[in-house]
Amino acid sequence: MERQVVQRAKEAFLSGRARGLEFRLQQLHALQSMITEKETEICTALKQDINRSQYDTPLLELIGIENEIKLAIEKIAEWTAPRPVEKNLLTISDEVYVQPEPLGVVLIIGAWNYPWALTLLPLIGAIAAGNAAVVKPSELSECSSLLLRALLPRYLDKDLYPVVMGGAAETQELLRLRFDHVFYTGSSAVGKLVMEAAARHLTPVTLELGGKSPCYIDKDCDIRVACRRITWGKFVNCGQTCIAPDYILCEPCIQSRVIECIRRTLLEFYGADPKCSADYSRIINQRHFTRIMSLMEGYTPVVGGQSDPSQCYIAPTVLKDVPPHSRLMQEEIFGPVLPIVTVSDMDDAINFINEREKPLALYIFCSNKKEAKRMIEETTSGGVTVNDVMMHYSLSSLPFGGVGQSGMGSYHGKHTFERLSHHRACMLRSLNMESVNLARYPPQDRVSWKTGRLCLLRTRMRQSCP
């Protein structure tokens, strides 16, 4: 089944119809229509999958998808145009440029926590770049995946952009096949398996993984505002966001105030009982519920801690004075549990971050811009936001991706197009002016050597678009 689907996608790509700009634009417009026309059904599916609010899905996923489609439609002619490069004396009369061209057939393996954005954003870039794409949504977000399978063939070319359903076995079968690029969003553990499988075919990969994204709160910042923004970013989607703040770093003198500000914000956001709030989501399944609950064993929550396995419900939870080497601090939480680790100052926080794997995101709350920039300079992460959380993700102009264990490769906006394109070096020469080439032909002497050296020395000479 998987082999036949991939073969059809390859044949459709080789037909050449995905390359034409008019076709790419038509497919992007069709995808835009799907999001607009089926918003209600998409929101309903996510309500069934993780109890997400009908208002959150447009804000967290659909508006971003629409913006990316609009950007691609607006900029596709510019992105696909030949890009002139500098020339030297030997090539001064030549036409020299970089031509973005399609890679071929891309495999997109989506994730369950944001099943529409994390699947369709790479697909937008794949379409814009002229590729075919096999879409594999996550089986965990079952309602969303079934809806995607039903909708995509109605709006897009069903041979160029097929949807393959299934779990681990089907994904493994796909990974045995040869693709021109694999785009995976998910855990680091599975990311390693994806990379290993792709290596057998020398297939390049984009791995959008995760990790423990630190959030440092400086004692001199506006702690009330900082905690409002952190509380939103941590507990939206029930903490199941790859760039959610994973833990807080702060000095002991402000820990109690941080806890109280988060407590008050949670009351404002979700009421006295978040379980009854229409704005509070649920854990995706029983396995992840059990995993998160086990991480909290041995701790007494200072906020929250309530749970209901029948609903996969875990209340927004805060834990204080968490030991740096505890199990809770070794793996990504990916749930509504927020540990607080105390540090002596910003330098201690920087050391704490640098002693661990490079995170997907870093958040710094600090009123002193110079100090905030120092922390940026002395650490590394996939992305960083100062005085807010997760908002860097919303900008298509910023590349989104990890570094080290948090991933490789970046996307969003033009960055997705670039990632899923081959940048072909092109030189068009004339058969005239053969005398110019004498300096490179044998037999060589000192005069021809000097002439050749002069011609090859780097000279900044730009050309206009061919």
Distance CA 147, CA 266 (A): 33
Residue 426, by phi and psi: left (phi above 0), alpha (psi -120 to 50) or beta?
A: beta
Two structure tokens written together for 154: 């109605």
Distance CA 175, CA 297 (A): 37
Q: What is the DSSP string of 222-267?
A: -HHHHHHHHHHHHHGGGG--TTS--EEEE-HHHHHHHHHHHHHHHH
Query: What positions carry a catalytic annotation?
Result: 208, 242
Query: Residue 444, class by beta-carbon neighbours within 10 Å (0-12 exposed, 13-18 middle, 19+ buried)?
Result: exposed
pLDDT tens-digit profile, the chain (466 residues): 789 999 999 999 999 999 999 999 999 999 999 999 999 999 999 999 999 999 999 999 999 999 999 999 999 999 999 999 998 888 888 999 999 999 999 999 999 999 999 999 999 999 999 999 999 999 999 999 999 999 999 999 999 999 999 999 999 999 999 999 999 999 999 999 999 999 999 999 999 999 999 999 999 999 999 999 999 999 999 999 999 999 999 999 999 999 999 999 999 999 999 999 999 999 999 999 999 999 999 999 999 999 999 999 999 999 999 999 999 999 999 999 999 999 999 999 999 999 999 999 999 999 999 999 999 999 999 999 999 999 999 999 999 999 999 999 999 999 999 999 999 999 999 998 888 778 888 888 888 788 777 777 765 455 554 4
Buried b (16+ CB within 10 A) or exposed e, 300-322: ebbbbbebeeeebbbbbbbbbeb
Question: What pLDDT, in 10s, does the model give residues 55-106?
Answer: 999 999 999 999 999 999 999 999 999 999 998 888 888 999 999 999 999 9
Q: What is the pTM of this model?
A: 0.94
Structural domains in the chain, sorted by start: 1-209+409-422 (3.40.605.10), 214-401 (3.40.309.10)
